[in-house]
Amino acid sequence: MIKNIGEIPRIAQAASAETAASGRPPETSFGDLLANAIDNVEQAQNQSNQAIEKLQTGESRNIHEVMIAMEKAGISMRLMVNMRNKIVEAYQEVMRMQI
């Protein structure tokens, strides 16, 4: 399930509290966070595909639930693409820096 964006400050606060308490960085790396985000997008896509299949086979008659699942998957994919674009921009900015 896709987590609400409102949970980001809580996650950041928990990570900073963990760092302050232990004196070392948290165990979750940026790569782990990125992998979790990709997994969440994949789950949303799978849920959308399952909802479409159920509608096509007549197992489900709730078109609004299918549309909601499709929209969640679309929004999560657009968010992931925008995150990727920002990461690429940041990388390019660092590469343009002169030493």
| Chain segment 37-57, per-residue pLDDT in tens | 899 999 999 999 999 999 999
The gap between the terminal CA atoms of the chain, to the nearest Å, is 44
Domain assignment present for residue 15? The answer is no
pLDDT at 26 over 90: no
Domain assignment present for residue 4? The answer is no
Structural domain range at position 42: 29-96
Domain assignment present for residue 8? The answer is no
The Cα 58–Cα 33 span in angstroms is 38
Domain assignment present for residue 21? The answer is no
Domain assignment present for residue 49? The answer is yes
Domain assignment present for residue 56? The answer is yes
pLDDT at res. 1: 47
Domain assignment present for residue 7? The answer is no
Domain assignment present for residue 3? The answer is no
Q: Work out the pLDDT band at 94, boundaries 50, 70, 90.
A: very high
Q: 56-75 as b/e, with b when 16 or more CB fall inside 10 Å? A: eeeeeeeeeebeebbebbee
Q: What angle do CA 81, 85, 87 make, to 5 degrees?
A: 115
The mean pLDDT of 65-76, rounded to a whole number, is 94
Work out how many domains the chain is built from and give that number.
1
